[in-house]
Amino acid sequence: MENAELEDGNTVQRPVIRLPNGLIILTRIDPLNSKTSMLLRVRPGWNELRAFLAGEVDNKQRYRKCAFLRESAP
């Protein structure tokens, strides 16, 4: 069970099953309603993208900046 915040601001405990590979998650939006059961497939690379978008990654270490100069004719 994991805590989750609903749209109305209430917190509920939601059943969550993560398969060993970490890329498949089973859960329910509303823990009391079996019709809200969900199967989520996390795409490879998502954790790195999420960390980058959340600002958790030091961009200086991951990316190089390049500048190209063109010579002008005399």
Query: What would the pLDDT profile of 8-57 be if each residue is shown by its tens digit?
Result: 888 889 898 988 887 888 988 888 889 989 998 888 777 777 777 667 76
| Rounded distance between C-alpha atoms, residue 15 and residue 35, angstroms | 14
Q: How far is CA 37 from the centre of its chain?
A: 19
Three-state DSSP class for residue 16:
strand
Q: Is residue 62 pLDDT above 60, yes or no?
A: no
| Rounded distance between C-alpha atoms, residue 14 and residue 5, angstroms | 10
For position 60, what pLDDT does the model report?
54
What angle (nearest 5°) sits at the alpha carbon of residue 60, between those of residues 56 and 66?
Answer: 140
**Of 39, 36, 38, 32, whose CA–CA distance to 12 is shortest?**
32
pTM (2 d.p.): 0.55
For position 12, what pLDDT does the model report?
87
